[in-house]
Amino acid sequence: MRPGAATRRLAHAVLVTACAGLLAAPAVAEARTRHYWVAAEVRPWSVVPNGHDAISHEPVDARANRGDAIVYQRYSRRFRRKLPNGAGGLAGPLLRARVGDTIKIHFRNLDLERPHSMHFHGVHYKPSSDGAYLPGFSGRDGKVDPGESYTYVLRAKRDSVGAWPYHDHSPSMMESIENGMFGMLSIFGRREKLPDREFVVVFSHMRDLFTINGRAFVGNTPILRAKVGDLVQWNVMSLGSDFHTFHVHGHRWMQGRTPRDTRTVGPAESFRIRWRERHPGTWLYHCHVEDHMMNGMIGIYRVKRR
């Protein structure tokens, strides 16, 4: 028997409601395997390329300024060509994923003199992807010799959402971290909106100066840019032995239910903060430990109107 008109109208209404519900539901990104190719490289590096402190107008000692850096460099698939790291300064590539993803980091050591590794915070992995060297216990993951390669396998779970450090944890760890071998992971929730602008700020001590991503003083540290209306995310971390306080002029964010404009970050600690930008102008961002700021740990944030 054919359904009556009332039945057909009811069925049509149910179908329309169901379709509308599907269209209104937030999109959920499918879990995937993300591949990154990253190499350890040595390169000459100037901490203060313009040679002076823009605030005091004093020249910077050349011995504190120039020397070799050891960095994580991103490559295209199978190391065919170099790609921009995208984080600014010395910081290694920003490695992004979502909850549910598997992350495979294909690492190659192109430093001809020292072993290196990659050790990751915030994500899940087996001991074979820990990347930490311990004689008698660790495997090849903790000591990738010159010219050798290793693949780290990580998993992003619900407790991985946030911004996290990665760094060398091989026998060369101390020298490597002091000379720039660090980067950040950015893990998003399955339904989380991606930011329009995402910044990496790494506080560290390098060659007797306090640096942001391996650079010191305004005019050398990364100039970060956004536009009014952008959803902005700052990924902040500290490496070394010092505590720092992150501050952006003219802005604040919520920490729980409390508005904040300064946050402390200690060695190997990290956090992310977000806001919808609505303050055009040129602003300072810096460590608010005054000795650190006056010895290089300060930069410029520029916000344009649309």
CA dihedral 107, 108, 109, 110 (to 10 degrees): -140
Mean pLDDT along residues 205-229:
96
**Mapping DSSP to helix (H, G, I), strand (E, B) and coil, where does residue 5 land?**
helix
Class of domain 33-304: mainly beta
pLDDT for the residue 61: 80
pLDDT for the residue 17: 42
Query: Rounded distance, CA 135 to CA 261, Å?
Result: 44
pLDDT for the residue 58: 87
Q: How confident is the model at residue 87 (pLDDT cuts 50, 70, 90)?
A: confident
Query: Rounded distance, CA 130 to CA 126, Å?
Result: 7
Q: What is the pLDDT of residues 20-72, one digit of tens each?
A: 443 444 466 688 999 999 999 999 999 999 998 888 888 988 766 889 999 99
Query: Rounded distance, CA 39 to CA 120, Å?
Result: 15
| Two tokens, residue 161 | 């959402």
Whether pTM exceeds 0.75 = yes
Least confident of 102-106, 162-166, 254-258, 271-275: 254-258
Q: How confident is the model at residue 214 (pLDDT cuts 50, 70, 90)?
A: very high
Burial of 57 (C-beta count, 10 Å sphere; 0-12/13-18/19+): exposed
**pLDDT of 13 higher than 50:** no
Contacts of 160 (CB under 8 A, 6+ apart): 99, 122, 123, 124, 187
- DSSP 8-class letter at 194: P
pLDDT for the residue 133: 97
Element holding 13 (H helix, E strand): helix 5-24
Least confident of 51-60, 113-122, 199-208, 213-222: 51-60
Contact (CB, 8 A) for 179 and 69:
yes
Contact (CB, 8 A) for 20 and 90:
no
pLDDT for the residue 28: 66
Residue-averaged pLDDT of the chain: 91
Q: How confident is the model at residue 187 (pLDDT cuts 50, 70, 90)?
A: very high
Contacts of 248 (CB under 8 A, 6+ apart): 234, 261, 283, 284, 285, 301
Contact (CB, 8 A) for 68 and 42:
yes
More confident call, 145 vs 52: 145
The position carrying tokens 């399955």 is 190
Q: What is the pLDDT of residues 150-186, one digit of tens each?
A: 999 999 999 999 999 999 999 999 999 999 999 999 9
Would you list the domain boundaries of the chain? 33-304
Q: How confident is the model at residue 102 (pLDDT cuts 50, 70, 90)?
A: very high
Least confident of 49-53, 91-95, 227-231, 267-271: 49-53
